[in-house]
Structure 1
Amino acid sequence: MIMNRSAVLLLSAALAAVPVAAGAAEPDAGASPGTVRQDGVVRGAGSAVARADVVLYQAGTERGAPATVLGRARSDAKGRFTITYERPRQRSAVLYLLADAGGRQQPVRLAAVLDGPRRSATRIVVNERTTVAAAYAMARFTDGRSISGAYPGLQNAAATAGNLADVTTGKVAAVLAAPPNGSETSTLRAFNSLANTLAGCVAGKTCEELFRLARPVGGNRPTNTFRAAVDIAHHPGHHVDGLYRLSLRERPYAPALAAAPDAWTLALRYDADGRTLDGPGNIAFDAHGNAWIANNYVFNPDPTQPTCGADYVVKLTPTGENAPGSPYRGGGLYGAGYGVTLDPKRNIWVGNFGFQGSGCPLDPDPLYRSVSQFRSDGTPLSPPTGWRYGDIMQPQGTVSDRRGTIWIANCGNRSVTRVPNGRPERARNIPSPSDGLVKPFSVAVDTRGRASVTGNGSDNVLRLSSRGEPLGYVSGGGISAPMGVASDSVGNVWVANSGLVDIPCEGTGALPPADAGLDPADGAAEASVTMIRPDGTTPAGPYERGGLFLPWGIAVDGDDNVWVANFGGQRVAHLCGARPRTCPPGHRTGDPISPAATGYTSDGLVRNTSVQIDPSGNVWLTNNWQTVPLQTNPGGHEVVVFVGMAAPVRTPLLGTPRS
């Protein structure tokens, strides 16, 4: 998909992928010293910005650490500047520019995120587009005053900024400008509208109004344009209509939105090389932020042509390219569904559910009785038939705990398989008590090492001890056709209640879209999220707002707030979690953070099964099925990434999330 990158984006992506490349240097390895000359120009509202104070920084290397000033300059009458500085020794160093202008109060602050110090000296443009790119990609690493953060989140965020704006030209970056983005979604237009919102202030006309509208509830009023952009990124559903009207006052950037969005989010679509993803089902991130994706079907762009189950797993870099050697084949892979995880040894495990399109001539029965295991370089560790110990059948959720024990939900035989310390020969099958867990779908491990398994066909959750002993069922509290399950850092487990999805296990289950005939605004009547407390109790009722339509996947971010993917409605929901102090003021557990009626929508979404949070705070969703699917090949072909929306999560995710 992604060709002809700018030098900035190429180097940033390389830095993000360095540790997984053979013979590559570690993030703290030294770069050759030397003096670098950085030329640039500051532009705003379509004109040069003269007499701007331009400062080049090296971002702090830990959360809250101070940034280091590398050099200063003042722009001339044509906005031009030159900064000469000493090259930082760290190869993973992230550099950025802040340019302040506008008189004594300097309400204009424009920003640009650069690459690491190995970049050759090229001309840099700092403008409203680069400012919006910096504000969104770095949203979880800045308060608008400085930028800091740890590897790999900070470095990957810098690379993602290069997917939005090209700092060598100040124009829209190639990734945002071209399919599957560009004119195919509204993100490009929203990006330009955000830049126009800042342009009015840069022109000296709308600063007071911008700062009033961007001010967070209970927060301080921003005093410059970069801080305002960061506040909008942090609170995208606040004063949406007013900010849209402001974007119409000065319009140097086009194309722009023709109407106000439901929220000021930026969602990028990644399709790897455009010939790989077909029905991406779930995502697991490795320690460097690379995305490992379970893929349902063999790629075929024609939905009328029958396709069989995918025999490969896909690995994307943090900026959406196919990683070297990806996709990886072998190890018994076939038709993976929702099951993909990394263990503490960096091995990848994939559950072989046996998905295939109608008309595929293969018999899936002998193929859906295993999990596959790979090294981090894509080499299969499992045999050609996969690991078959533990009576695996139609595996869905597949997760690792912090000890490396693998838990597998067997959707086809009402059981769970436990693989102690990742040793397949020791796998043990755990039948559900009284056969009461029907269509086990997803697994989450809590703070005590206990596993919670959703029963899609039994409207319950089975809890197991860390050793695999059944602890009993949880039902009620709104649990209805549950799908995904996730744990938080304080011991709770969160359940996504689809209300009506019937997974095709045990030879049953509706294959057509479950939302046929649903109200397009409201979704399933019982769509909700249930919180299960550490003692197994639930609140009296489930949480039902925030844009829940047909919940499927669910994830908890580094602030313990909850994100829900929907298999319909083209939206992701964001709910306040168990630590309300991390939520906007006035929110309580379960309250919607995303717009209550719609969630965060995007026309780049289709039918989503998974939502996961990466180390940069980006929210990734899988476009699993087309909106109007043909059963011969119903798969979608992208993952969708909402930039900078969530509190970052340390990866790989082993048990409960860590910030």
Structure 2
Amino acid sequence: MRRRTLTLVAVAALMSLSAGSSLAEVTGDPPGHGMTGQSGTVLSGDTPVPSAEVSVYQAGDEKGSAPRRLARTRSDGRGRFHVAYRRPDDPSAVLYLTADSGRPPRRGTGAHRTPPVRLVTVLGTAREHRGGAGKVVLNERTTVAAGFALAQFTEGAEVSGPHPGLQNAAAVAHNLADITTGKVAKTLSTPPNGDRTSALRTFNTLSDILAGCTEGRTCDELFRLARRPGQPAPRDTFQAAADIARAPGHDVAALFALSSAAPRYRPALRSAPDAWTIALRYVGNGHELDGPGNIAFDAQGNAWIPNNYVYDPDPRNTACGSRVLSKLTPTGRSAPGAPFSGGGLYGAGFGIAQDPRGSVWVGNFGFQGTGCALDADRLYRSVSQFAPDGRALSPRRGWRQGDILQPQGLATDRRGNVWVANCGGRSVTRIPHGRPEGARNIAPGGDSLVKPFGIAVDTSGRAWVTGNGSDNVTMLSPTGEPRRTVSGGGIKRPMGVATDSLGNVWVSNGGAVVAPCEGTTPAMLAEAVAQIVTRHVDASVTMIRSDGTTPARPFVNDGLFLPWGIAVDGSDNVWVANFGGHRIAHLCGARTSACPPGVRTGDPISPADTGYTSDGLDRNTGIQVDPSGNVWLANNWRTVPVQTNPGGHEMVVFIGVATPVRTPLIGAPRHF
């Protein structure tokens, strides 16, 4: 330890000799009108980092805009610092601290060399972080937290991005690291995370990987291995953390080997993971989520979540249909006033969407556990509508116009039309401009659309609905007329459907997943998938072009395991939730320029043999991407679903892995 401390001191002293003396004082009260200050300590593990250059930055407020350095100083011999700066006028401005320490320029070259060690702490917004009160820590843990949470807003050493994605991402960083202590944050260190999943151990191992560079041993190897395919190598530890987050399946084992150079943080992984993802579980208030089915994000990035069942932690107790709608903040807390109820809500399933006026629409499928005495036949014939503040706008029996029957998928378009897939009715209900009195039932007839399940709207306002029982996808015109039925191309038991910004439609083929409607019960679904322990032969993804044609073969890899929900991110890449296998799949979309070099449309970006796995996942249905680039999944059922109450109890969020999407998602995804 003494040798390591002397090494840090010597390197920092050389840096201070070459940096000049025009920096802020280390100590003193913040002077002047509108001024504030921040004190803290720069550490590597428990070892102080002396003479590090500490800067306060205001992040850029648009993609690609330059951050602004507000002030800088140096840490003293014990790693302590105090920096005074003028508080930004914009209360939503995101503030962060950097501490740079590393190699000086080579003698005789006259060249400046960027310090390879950059430790970062995200303070938060100017409104939330007033400065002055309390101290903060910059260390490898806070740097991993910043690198992952801000991964989609980091370009080189600079942080910038639009509201609310950047602000929400800054808040999520505090779910990973406690900036006041440099330790693991409560959200990550306690149930339903903590020792219940591997996320904590992964986080600490990533911190150890950076610590090897902080100690001066592994920087060159770190920057070489963290380099994203086709991109420049990172030049400091913060960039390396962000690059690992954006390409988590790249050089995994070699990066893991670096964690043994300076093992500072425990508990840590004992072997390499399949990918460097950090997946957090969120539970809201802890007693509201039971069988969450899907997710819809509002303009501020809050997650609206329907539930199948009344919350009960004991799967042996009969759970009737849920009558609450959850709303979680971007950091996974239950939003003020939530969960919400009323409006005919009962046993909601996969269907939820927000319209252009901000109303949230939910399909009442009528889920309930075996043994519930209520008659679901009287309860699964409606949709519910809620105002942006959570007030129920639909009557106590829900909106029932348009012959709604066991509704599942639900979508809205730019004109405010609401589209409902009637899983039990072989039809789609179209609610024009969100006015239930004008609702119309659209039934193609016969066996042409059986068990309609997922529905999505494309760039032309056309609605595409999957026929789980007819192995096809039906396209409806913007006014609701059936125009085309697409089969072939591997479409088999299709479930979810999503559209991209290029006019393509993406379909997840469940293979063995039989939608639990029109005579099929949830118990039958459970029996059908119980014995499937490897990828089913028909599990795949199909791309439908805007003209209705498909590639000759579907896209297949072992990241697809009973695929259910599907989503497209802001780069038009594709994300798939699985009802089995505890994994998600990440596929290259139609915009191949956004994919790693050599990867073609439909190829896996996540590891082909595993996808991105997580022991925090159960059986997943819904999947969506938020404005910060986090991928949210619904733990809909337990891995072994006891039918009295089979529901899972968490949302699982993969931090910083996807290109952000502008929300609410109305029609095809839009990027910032």
Q: TM-score, with normalisation over the residues of structure 2? A: 0.92
1:15 — aligned with what? Answer: none
Q: Hey, what's the Cα distance between the residues in 2 that align with 1:64 and 1:609?
A: 35
From the superposition, tell whether residues 389 and 547 of structure 1 become closer, same or farther in structure 2 (CA, over 3 Å): same
Secondary structure at the residue paired with 1:382? coil
Q: Hey, what's the Cα distance between the residues in 2 that align with 1:285 and 1:471?
A: 30
2:208 — aligned with what? Answer: 196
Q: CA deviation at 1:322?
A: 0.5
User: Given that residues 303 and 328 in structure 2 are in contact (C-alpha distance below 8 angstroms), is that contact kept between their aligned partners in structure 1?
Assistant: yes
Q: Hey, what's the Cα distance between the residues in 2 that align with 1:327 and 1:383?
A: 18
Q: CA deviation at 1:503?
A: 1.3
**Percent identity between the two aligned chains:** 64
Aligned 1:370-449 pairs, distance under 5 A:
370-449=382-461
Q: Hey, what's the Cα distance between the residues in 2 that align with 1:418 and 1:291?
A: 24
User: Given that residues 188 and 194 in structure 2 are in contact (C-alpha distance below 8 angstroms), is that contact kept between their aligned partners in structure 1?
Assistant: yes
- 1:654 and 2:666 correspond: yes
1:29 — aligned with what? Answer: none
User: Given that residues 513 and 525 in structure 2 are in contact (C-alpha distance below 8 angstroms), is that contact kept between their aligned partners in structure 1?
Assistant: no
Which AA in structure 2 matches 1:358?
T
Kindly tell me the number of residue pairs found equivalent between the two proteins: 626
1:109 — aligned with what? Answer: 118
Aligned 1:636-651 pairs, distance under 5 A:
636-651=648-663
2:591 — aligned with what? Answer: 579
Secondary structure at the residue paired with 1:115? strand
2:525 — aligned with what? Answer: 511
Q: Hey, what's the Cα distance between the residues in 2 that align with 1:108 and 1:273?
A: 39
1:261 — aligned with what? Answer: 273
Q: CA deviation at 1:126?
A: 0.3
Secondary structure at the residue paired with 1:64? coil
Aligned 1:479-518 pairs, distance under 5 A:
479-509=491-521, 510-518=524-532
1:241 — aligned with what? Answer: 253
- Structure 1, 141-150 or 569-578: larger mean CA deviation: 141-150
Q: Hey, what's the Cα distance between the residues in 1 that align with 2:415 and 2:620?
A: 30
Which AA in structure 1 matches 2:357?
K
2:469 — aligned with what? Answer: 457
Q: Which has the larger radius of gyration?
A: 2
Q: Hey, what's the Cα distance between the residues in 1 that align with 2:481 and 2:167?
A: 42
2:64 — aligned with what? Answer: 64
2:25 — aligned with what? Answer: none
From the superposition, tell whether residues 219 and 90 of structure 1 become closer, same or farther in structure 2 (CA, over 3 Å): same
Q: Which of 287, 304, 309 in structure 1 is aligned with 2:316?
A: 304
User: Given that residues 309 and 354 in structure 1 are in contact (C-alpha distance below 8 angstroms), is that contact kept between their aligned partners in structure 2?
Assistant: yes
2:144 — aligned with what? Answer: 132
2:77 — aligned with what? Answer: 77
Q: Hey, what's the Cα distance between the residues in 2 that align with 1:513 and 1:367?
A: 25
2:566 — aligned with what? Answer: 554
Q: Hey, what's the Cα distance between the residues in 2 that align with 1:192 and 1:544?
A: 33
Aligned 1:151-300 pairs, distance under 5 A:
151-300=163-312
Q: CA deviation at 1:434?
A: 3.5
Q: Hey, what's the Cα distance between the residues in 1 that align with 2:156 and 2:174?
A: 18
Q: Hey, what's the Cα distance between the residues in 2 that align with 1:628 and 1:642?
A: 23
Aligned 1:475-624 pairs, distance under 5 A:
475-509=487-521, 510-518=524-532, 520=533, 522-545=534-557, 547-624=559-636
User: Given that residues 151 and 242 in structure 2 are in contact (C-alpha distance below 8 angstroms), is that contact kept between their aligned partners in structure 1?
Assistant: yes
Secondary structure at the residue paired with 1:297? coil
> CA RMSD of the aligned region, Å?
1.1
Which AA in structure 2 matches 1:326?
A
1:28 — aligned with what? Answer: none
Q: CA deviation at 1:430?
A: 0.3
The C-alpha deviation readout for 1:240-291, integer Å capped at 9, x for no partner, is: 0011111112111000001110000000000111100000000000000000
Q: CA deviation at 1:516?
A: 2.2
User: Given that residues 546 and 594 in structure 1 are in contact (C-alpha distance below 8 angstroms), is that contact kept between their aligned partners in structure 2?
Assistant: no
The C-alpha deviation readout for 1:342-362, integer Å capped at 9, x for no partner, is: 000000000000000000010
Which AA in structure 1 matches 2:56?
L
Q: Hey, what's the Cα distance between the residues in 2 that align with 1:254 and 1:144?
A: 29
Q: Hey, what's the Cα distance between the residues in 2 that align with 1:343 and 1:82?
A: 48
- 1:342 and 2:354 correspond: yes
From the superposition, tell whether residues 475 and 33 of structure 1 become closer, same or farther in structure 2 (CA, over 3 Å): farther
1:50 — aligned with what? Answer: 50
Q: CA deviation at 1:215?
A: 1.6
Q: Hey, what's the Cα distance between the residues in 2 that align with 1:474 and 1:45?
A: 58
- Structure 1, 220-229 or 60-69: larger mean CA deviation: 220-229
Q: Which runs of 5+ in 1 are unaligned?
A: 1-31
User: Given that residues 426 and 451 in structure 2 are in contact (C-alpha distance below 8 angstroms), is that contact kept between their aligned partners in structure 1?
Assistant: yes
Secondary structure at the residue paired with 1:515? helix
Q: CA deviation at 1:617?
A: 0.3
